Amino acid sequence: MQIYLLQARKEAGLTQAELANLLGISTTSYGDKERGIKEFTQDEMFFLSKFFNKNLQEIFLPRKSPKREQY
């Protein structure tokens, strides 16, 4: 799941349908991508990065959980 993208979308008050429309894809396809079932294309990732004014790492790359223990 693209939890940071979901967070950015909700903070902006946008629906999946609205972002899907901006990307030129179906709402179903967008939902699948946000849930991690399908992958975003590079163009889509760059668009969303610019749209939310965040770098790619802030939206798409995994972050270490502070609760996760290192072994």
- State yes or no: pLDDT of 1 exceeds 90: no
Architecture of domain 3-58: Orthogonal Bundle (1.10)
- Which sequence spans correspond to the domains of the chain? 3-58
Q: What is the maximal distance between C-alpha atoms in the chain?
A: 43
* 25's tokens: 């894809």
pLDDT tens-digit map of 13-55: 999 999 999 999 999 999 999 999 999 999 999 999 999 999 9
pLDDT score, position 38? 95
- State yes or no: pLDDT of 67 exceeds 60: no
* 43's tokens: 């163009």
Predicted model pTM = 0.82
pLDDT score, position 56? 92
Q: CB of 10 within 8 A of CB of 3?
A: no
Helix/strand/coil percent split, the chain, to 5: 55, 0, 45
pLDDT confidence of 60, banded at 50, 70, 90?
Answer: confident
